[in-house]
Amino acid sequence: MRVWMALVVVASLGTACRGARLTSPEVDELLALHRADARAARAGREAGGPADLAAFEAQVLEIRKEWDEKLRAPEKLLTFLDFASPTMQPLVEEAKGGGFAASLAQDATLDRILAGAFVRNPGLRAAHQRLAGTIEQYAQVTYLDTILRQYVSFLRDLDTRVGPTVPMEGVAKRFPFPGTLELKAAIVGHAVEEARARYEIALQDLVTEVRVTYADSVFVFRSIANTEETLRYLKQLEETARGKLATGAAQKTHVIQTQVQISQLENDLVSLHRNGDTLRARLNALLDLPLGTPFAEPVSPRMPPFPASVESLYDRAASGQPAVLAASARAARMATMIELAEQATYPELSPGLSLMVGISHATGGSGKEREPFSTRPKIKPDPWFGTKDAYLREARERERGARLRVTEAQDRTAYRLHEAWNQLDAAHRLFELYRDVQLSQAEEAYSDASSAYAADRVEFLNVIDALRQWLRFLLDADRAERDYHRAYARLEDALGGPVTRRRDP
């Protein structure tokens, strides 16, 4: 469709069309686009597209049928997490039943909660419905156009005997196959791919939030256990101090200092229980369960292997991140819509009298009032082919902006990947430091100080400090493990899939 425009625009750069809005660079761009269209058309003919309109309609319906089948099995459609694996599939089926809440009260593992979120989360289900609604657009590619053509044909055959002559539709518009219909199918295809990517984004956001919340829950439960154990040691120490006070071997301040530490830890314990209630409420919301649904004590998941480097993940993230795929599909859809708008906006190559039809028949005989056609051409200030150039130029600029959005999504993905890997590395190093060295040393220091205090060899403050340091190291080690799981979840979120394996869409 652009070849006639390129020729007319080149011709109009002379004196005949001084009011033309297209500049020389735009003419070069149109010619380049025309060559690209010609190459694409040749490639399409060589690839062997549908032979006729009926075959094209059958092809579109087959594409829609394939998408409908995928929608009925979303665990196979989505790739961020493998819900069709032998481990997850039974949990997914369990989550669809009525006893899911009761199973959480017995065993609240991370996989069971992830399966429940996949089945029950309202946000993910809404994204599924949006994809289903977008797939329904395939029905408009052929059926709606056929209905509109029938209506236009009916109006064209009406003999109203009033009104001026109007342009007759060209052959390409009466028989839009394969030009405009293929473009419409391509537009719907890009829209469906974008909706599918948005569905994948909804899943990865949900899985990441569940993983982070679950890691926080494990940390809170462990903190409660460590605090309760420290309270037990403090109460034992208080009894020891009271016994030594009764014999005159200790001071009253030793008992008071112990009671102060006990009061502080009891207050921390209440705060930890409140945090646990908040995290359970968050999980209930993600699973679409009543607010007071109980959960069993969370089980710490196995720590996934630490990736040796982040450089090997950049290429996967740039090409497989759903945010990048959604931006790419949106840009491709805009480019196809612009091509369709050009075909709808610009007229045929020959807008002469052969493409004009008279509506009024009172143009001859004794009742003749005017000529069938105008005897003088009506010259407009601007060329007739440039009336909607401003709209198309705006659309092209927006399409260039959409292409830049793809680059922006790739850059943001690379940054998020790098940031998550750095956080993962810091948490990994800190956890190994506490696990291999400091935890055992802090426990040994408290044991030695407690024994020495009972034998009157050290000051009481040394025992208190050793016990507080041991509790701090226990909490810090658990916090480092929690941060590792959180950073790993965000790393896979930035990557757009599992670190150790990747399913093909």
Taking only the tens place, the pLDDT of each residue in 192-221 is 999 999 999 999 999 999 999 999 999 999
* CA 131/CA 123 separation, integer angstroms: 13
Decide: 243 and 212 in contact? Cβ < 8 Å: no
Query: Which residues of the chain are modeled with pLDDT < 70?
Result: 1-52, 142-179, 249-250, 344-388, 501-505
* CA 405/CA 237 separation, integer angstroms: 63
As given in the structure block, the two tokens for residue 87 are: 């481990």
As given in the structure block, the two tokens for residue 490 are: 């965000």
* CA 189/CA 207 separation, integer angstroms: 27
Alpha-carbon Rg for the chain, nearest whole angstrom, is 36
Q: Give the pLDDT score at 51.
A: 59
Q: Give the pLDDT score at 29.
A: 61
* CA 109/CA 405 separation, integer angstroms: 39
The single-letter code of the amino acid at 316 is R
Q: Which residues pair with 167 in a beta bridge?
A: 356
**Quick one: which of 158, 156, 160 has its CA closest to 362?**
160
Q: Give the pLDDT score at 13.
A: 38
Q: Give the pLDDT score at 25.
A: 56
How many helices (H) does the chain have, and how many strands (E)?
A: 18, 2
Q: Note the pTM of the prediction, 2 decimals.
A: 0.75
Token match 């209905």: residue?
Answer: 147
Q: Which long-range contacts (CB under 8 A, 24 or more apart) does 12-15 make?
A: 12/383, 12/385
Q: E strand or H helix at 356, and its extent?
A: strand 356-357
Decide: 172 and 179 in contact? Cβ < 8 Å: yes
